Structure 1
Amino acid sequence: MLSWLFASSSQRRILGRPAGVSGPTPWLIAIMSFSMIVVAAAGLAVSNTAGTIAKSAEHRYSVQVPDGARNLPAVISALRSARGVSGAEAVPEADMRATLKTWLGSEADNPDLPVPAMASFDLAAGADIAAVERQVKSAAPNATIVAHRENLRPVLRSLRVLQWLALGLVALLAAAAAAAVVLAARGALDTHRFTIDVMHGMGATDVQVTQLFQRKIAIDALVGSAAGAAAAAAVLLLFTASATALGELTGGVRLGLADIMLLLLLPLALTALATWVARTAVLTALRQAL
């Protein structure tokens, strides 16, 4: 099935090119491979970040007490005695004011500014949040319970959009690589039209002629994909080692083994796509020329 990959030296000389890679095709494939891997890695990191955030907030709740800190000890006591509640703790007022500084600036430190008291707790899976809410309201009637996942829903939605955007960009880059291969294959056909006519005159079939071009483009695509993948790996390792913008964007989430394996498959997939597209384009052009 893959016998076309192992052409003889005489077959390799038919196209009049030296052994190895040549032309712009390997460079184009390298650029596409580099871009695809970097974009895919960013998409996978964003996906992992969204999963981590969603998992951490799945059973996390907050209690807001508008009456201030005087009712907070009773709320904490009610939470810790409620069934299914764990990790109940008060949010320090200093943290609340530090958060308010984002919008109010130095005014957030004004002692006359009323700051609601807040507590956070975890709820076991299957526990009754309504029962917990009744117990909390018995200690502080004005208290309200807010699920963290509800507050984070817009953030998670945005992360999912970025994830699908990355997937779409990878698909577009693959389509662009396929288009470049088609142009390269048709250009090679035009360049070697006389050689092809001679081969046909000697009894060569379209499939045999196609295999010559298919092999050349497959090698160019493999070398280009590997070079692009190596460059992308170096860039990603640099980001990981220096903990720069990518690390801050993903909150320190690293790519898992499954993610790395998927990224390693991208150059092979790009090579297979380029080979198939080249074969289809050359074979179609030869048959249309008859």
Structure 2
Amino acid sequence: MSQIDPGEPDRVALQARDVAFDWAQLPMHWIPGEPFATHMINFLHLVLPEGERWFVEVFKQAMPLIEDDRLLEDVRGFVGQEAMHAESHQGVLDHFDAHGLDTRPYVAQVGWMFRKILGDRPHTGKRAESWLVQRLAMIAAIEHYTAFLGQWVLDAEALDAAGADPTMLDLLRWHGAEEVEHRSVAYDLYMHVDGGYLQRCRAMAIAITVLAILWARGVRFLMAHDPVLRGRSKPRFRDMLRTGRLGLTPSYWQMLRAIPPYFRRSYHPSQHGSTSQAVAYLAKSPAAQAAEH
């Protein structure tokens, strides 16, 4: 993850942008000639709608515990942005489902994980608060990684050079810019309500393990059900290495190097990513600009 310029703003007023995307012309392989790279990124559409709806519900439950007005304002902005992210990625899934790539079986599994394993439990009192804090720690860990991915896609000029679909690029960069923009909120909320170091580290270890498993399974699922490939191509580790070298996907080493900073006691999300770059993209994003007008 890139280090920020100390002169950059570390906080902006967070707002949900009422964006809309037209997927009518989206090709199945929106990175031309690169089905693996396409589906490596398409995995995000599989998990983000359910995951970000879960973020929203957990944060709403945490709001009564917030005693800092500035943090409460940030959390409300975060919730609005995450809700919009979920609906925007859902639009991609609806497009895939209508054009021969039925994502519903995988998405149902993801939904089960967030609603059953990570959902509300019949606890009361301290046990209920403890379960809420554990989930806030998990969200803070996941948001560290989504901020890394957001910065990556803002920097990924290779996608433009490869002729990637401009509407998909705008979705990914609009979302990525907002992830960078609000990258500190989940961490600050966790630190406000608990802040335990060991719990923070444990949450990251769990989150990154589950994410890696889901990602590998998700890419396999997409390639197996791709109506163009018809099962003729399977993902291979060397595909990840190749597309990473080309800059079409986050490289294996970039994804590994993003993890250790979170385990430092001195860690804070503002130490990574570029707020000014995120704000600059949002100022020119076709979807974000259309939403403003």
What's the TM-score bracket when you normalise by the shorter of the two chains? under 0.3
TM score, norm. by length of structure 2: 0.25
Structure (1 or 2) with the larger CA radius of gyration:
1
More strand by share: 1
TM score, norm. by length of structure 1: 0.25
